[in-house]
Chain A
Amino acid sequence: MLRLRFHGRGGQGAKVASRVLGTAAFLDGYNAQDFPLYGAERRGAPITAFTRISRDDIMERGLVSDPDIVIVMDETLLLDPQAMPLSGLKIGGIVFVNTPLSPLETKEEYGIEDHVVTLDITKVSLDMIGKPVLSSLAAGVASRIAGIGEGALKGALEKELSGIISDREILGKNTDAALHCYNALVPVQVKTAETIRERDNVITLPFEIARVSSPAINATGNTPLRKTGNWRVFRPVWNYDICTRCMTCVARCPEGCIRLNEDGYPYADYDNCKGCLVCAEECPVKAITKVREIHSRSEEGDR
């Protein structure tokens, strides 16, 4: 049996990707299971979804804690303690990472010992669909890695996406983008050991009574420590040559994370800016531009 785990951000389409993969496997003659994990978080926050594929009956239920294949749809998740996508990965497992880096660079950057496959699917999605929505593309790469046939993937895309996307043109673009990703990867052999790496494994919490398990928070204003800045796909960048210091962006930011520098010009706290780009949309003189976040090389872009 192959066990896959998808790690994405709310809105990127991890849930749909696992579903398309499950259906593709089914159409290819396998038994399949797919389901997401709904946590308390929202669009932009870490999301997990699972797929099991097997020629035999699947009697296993519940979360996949020891996957053979991990699909990382947003590379910032690799460093996010809330997501920990590599936890429980079987030795010899395969990690797909959505990044502009090569597999070797990715292994070094994130200290991954297992087989790494990479493709900048965000770029493919922006180029081919026009939006950073990754569901069909992630399903494409996952199908390739799991060894599902191209025809089955096509059938699954049609079956699953037509219920969600009413516009035939957008549906077509999604299918093309998915097949592009499928064919951009070379087939791999998935041969995992039954053992997992002893690090960062899923912790099972014991049952506690309500007094212990629903604790009070006695700190104030400490959410900035959560650093939601890695939710971004695009970052706002200010051009002070045209900024009139009108304060519109400061007022309009839903997060309240735009501050003023010594000269009274606004800047974002990039540790927490979620990249909604309301500021750019509302700036009356268009002094804020939208720049694609390339996470593994983003440091120099900071103020």
Chain B
Amino acid sequence: MDTSTIISIKELPPEENMLPGTAACAGCGGLLTLRYCLKALGDKIIIVNAAGCFTLLTIYPFSPFRNSWLYTAMACAPAGAQGVRDALDILIKKGKLDPEENLKVVVLSGDGSAYDMALSSTSGAIYRNLDFYYICYDNEAYGNTGFQHSGASPFGSRTGTTPPGKEVPVGSQLQKKNLFDIWNSHKPPYIATVSPAYPVDLMNKFKKAEQFKGPKLFISHIPCPPGWGFDPSRSVRLAKLSVETGLWPLKESVHGEVEHTYVPKRFKPVEEYLKEQERFSHLFKPVRQEDALKSIQEMVDEYWKKHEFLP
């Protein structure tokens, strides 16, 4: 692939490596992310898919992909990727597979898998310096089984298992795990956060990752219309808001060195993002939960202060 950077959406590769007609919800931000990722990766790949919404993209006898696809249970996609990588390497070494026929190995998983169940197998794969791409589409819950709380669910959100009520009006009381930092502490060659609202940034990160052998990890923060509770047409708008409010920093790490790739000129108040979603509606109605709203804003401000983008 040509690794020069692009500057506008007009330069996105025209090839579509994922076709329409899938079972994903209308307006799924994860599907949009995947469409861009496959533009960047091309079709000589094999996707190892942990159970989740995206296992449903391929339902017998249909597949939206031009590439190969393998389905695993939630906890073991990185282990599956290791097996596929080893098999490809051995076949090439024995001369049974033309090196031209080599495939890039790509793990695709939701946050429930990436942040929780598959964390140990991912850690193992990074530790072994497995040469693969890992894409996590993070809808901040276990989307496929009814939007239950995951390690990625943010403080103050309503999920299937953290309904706000009399005892706990705020919903989820836990803070989202910092998967970027967890991965980064393993010092893999390349990690990035991406967003479906910033396809140029996403594309350039994949182009950059291309040069590294070893784990190349991507987390995409993706709006989920049924889980988050908003009209599907607002999907890209919400992805933009999560970045513009500073909630989802766009950054990358090369061998452990972190750099932000986009910093909003003026941070929008997080409320603008929260108030558009049903999963945060209890923070505004019937009574405004000032403390919760304030602490969410403070958490964002602290992050950017620590990185010296805010005084």
Report whether chain A binds chain B: yes
Beta-carbon contact of B20 and A228 below 8 Å:
yes
Beta-carbon contact of B12 and A251 below 8 Å:
yes
Bound-complex Cα distance A167 to B23 (A): 31
Beta-carbon contact of A254 and B32 below 8 Å:
yes
Nearest CB of chain A from residue B171's CB, rounded to whole Å = 13
- Asked if B28 is at the interface (CB within 8 A of a chain A CB), the reply is yes
- Asked if A107 is at the interface (CB within 8 A of a chain B CB), the reply is no
- Interface residues of A toward B: which range? 35 or more
Nearest CB of chain A from residue B38's CB, rounded to whole Å = 9
- Asked if B10 is at the interface (CB within 8 A of a chain A CB), the reply is yes
Bound-complex Cα distance A169 to B59 (A): 41
- Asked if A202 is at the interface (CB within 8 A of a chain B CB), the reply is no
Nearest CB of chain A from residue B12's CB, rounded to whole Å = 6
Beta-carbon contact of B28 and A247 below 8 Å:
no
Which chain A positions have C-beta within 8 A of B95? none
- Interface residues of B toward A: which range? 35 or more
- Asked if A276 is at the interface (CB within 8 A of a chain B CB), the reply is yes
Bound-complex Cα distance A256 to B24 (A): 13
Residues 16-53 of B at the A interface (beta carbon under 8 Å): 16, 18-29, 31-32, 35, 53
A218-231 vs B, CB cutoff 8 Å, 1 = contact: the mask equals 01111111111001
Beta-carbon contact of A256 and B58 below 8 Å:
no
- Do A255 and B20 form a contact, CB below 8 Å, given A43-B26, A217-B60? yes
Bound-complex Cα distance A166 to B226 (A): 17
B181-220 vs A, CB cutoff 8 Å, 1 = contact: the mask equals 0000000000000001001000000000000000000000
Residues 40-94 of B at the A interface (beta carbon under 8 Å): 53, 56-67
Bound-complex Cα distance A231 to B232 (A): 13
A144-172 vs B, CB cutoff 8 Å, 1 = contact: the mask equals 00000000000000000000001100000
Chain B residue, CB-CB nearest to A45: B23
Selected from B9, B22, B24, B282, the residue in CB contact (under 8 A) with A247 is: B9
- Asked if B154 is at the interface (CB within 8 A of a chain A CB), the reply is no
Bound-complex Cα distance A248 to B9 (A): 7
Beta-carbon contact of B234 and A223 below 8 Å:
no
Chain A residue, CB-CB nearest to B27: A276
Beta-carbon contact of A272 and B21 below 8 Å:
yes
Which chain B positions have C-beta within 8 A of A227? 21
Chain B residue, CB-CB nearest to A217: B63
Residues 214-252 of A at the B interface (beta carbon under 8 Å): 215, 217, 219-228, 231, 247-248, 251-252
Which chain B positions have C-beta within 8 A of A103? none
Selected from A10, A43, A225, A275, the residue in CB contact (under 8 A) with B21 is: A225
Nearest CB of chain A from residue B90's CB, rounded to whole Å = 22
Which chain B positions have C-beta within 8 A of A255? 20-22, 31, 35
Beta-carbon contact of B63 and A256 below 8 Å:
no
Beta-carbon contact of A256 and B232 below 8 Å:
no
Selected from A223, A254, A276, the residue in CB contact (under 8 A) with B63 is: A223
Beta-carbon contact of A217 and B22 below 8 Å:
no
Chain B residue, CB-CB nearest to A277: B233
Selected from B10, B18, B236, the residue in CB contact (under 8 A) with A252 is: B236
Beta-carbon contact of A219 and B226 below 8 Å:
no
**Of A64-72, A175-183, A278-286, the one with at least 4 CB within 8 A of chain B:** A278-286
- Asked if A41 is at the interface (CB within 8 A of a chain B CB), the reply is yes
Which chain A positions have C-beta within 8 A of B32? 252-254, 278
Beta-carbon contact of A251 and B199 below 8 Å:
yes
Which chain A positions have C-beta within 8 A of B29? 254
**Between-chain CB contacts (< 8 Å), 16 pairs:** A41-B23, A43-B26, A44-B25, A45-B23, A167-B285, A217-B63, A220-B63, A222-B19, A223-B20, A223-B22, A223-B57, A227-B21, A276-B235, A277-B232, A278-B235, A281-B233
Q: A42-B23, A255-B22, A256-B16 are in contact. List 8 more A-B contacts (CB 8 A).
A: A166-B285, A224-B21, A227-B21, A253-B32, A254-B24, A254-B27, A255-B21, A278-B232
Interface pairs A-B: 10 shortest CB-CB: A223-B21, A276-B27, A274-B26, A277-B233, A272-B20, A43-B25, A276-B26, A276-B232, A255-B20, A257-B20
